[in-house]
Amino acid sequence: MDTSSLAAAMKQAVPWVRTNGIEFVEVAPGRVVTALPDREDLRNHVGGPHAAMMFGVAETASGAVVMAAFAEHLGKATPLVVSSRIDYRKLALGALRAEAVLDRPAVDVVAELESGTRPEFPVRVTITNAEGVTTGEMTVVWTLRPNR
């Protein structure tokens, strides 16, 4: 799945992504980088991106990496978030990037799905500012729910 087709699919399926201007910078089966522009209407009381925006850009990156990694299996399973945890490390100011990495081999997840069980797998996300400083870290646990 290439950057433009994944971006179009995400913006169609999740209108929030389109509304908030999230950009898809890099797309690979095990890694996706998204970006959130610096916009006044997305800021908090200290002038940086609101915590909800940081969560959103990171969760969007995690969902995109799931879509990229399991695109050919989405006819038989629906990806769903099981849980998520975010840690805010430093004050975020300006535009942000979120790098999501699949933390378990996709082949293992697919094997579990094909064996009849519902796999769970973590996606780790690092949120950085324009200077590359880590401002947040997130782990999203996903599952592939078999379609019935």
Q: Which of these ranges, 3-12, 23-32, 69-78, 121-130, has the smallest mean pLDDT? A: 3-12
Q: If residue 24 lies in a helix (H) or strand (E), which one and from where to where?
A: strand 23-28
Kindly report the number of other CB atoms within 10 A of residue 60's CB atom: 23
Domain ranges, ordered by start, for the chain: 3-146
Measure the CA–CA gap between 64 and 27, rounded to whole angstroms: 8
Which tens digits make up the pLDDT trace of 105-148?
999 999 999 999 999 999 999 999 999 999 999 999 999 999 98
For the domain made up of 3-146, give the CATH fold.
Answer: Thiol Ester Dehydrase; Chain A (3.10.129)
Strand order in the sheet with 77-88: 23-28, 31-36, 96-102, 120-129, 134-146, 77-88
Structure tokens at 96: 């942000």
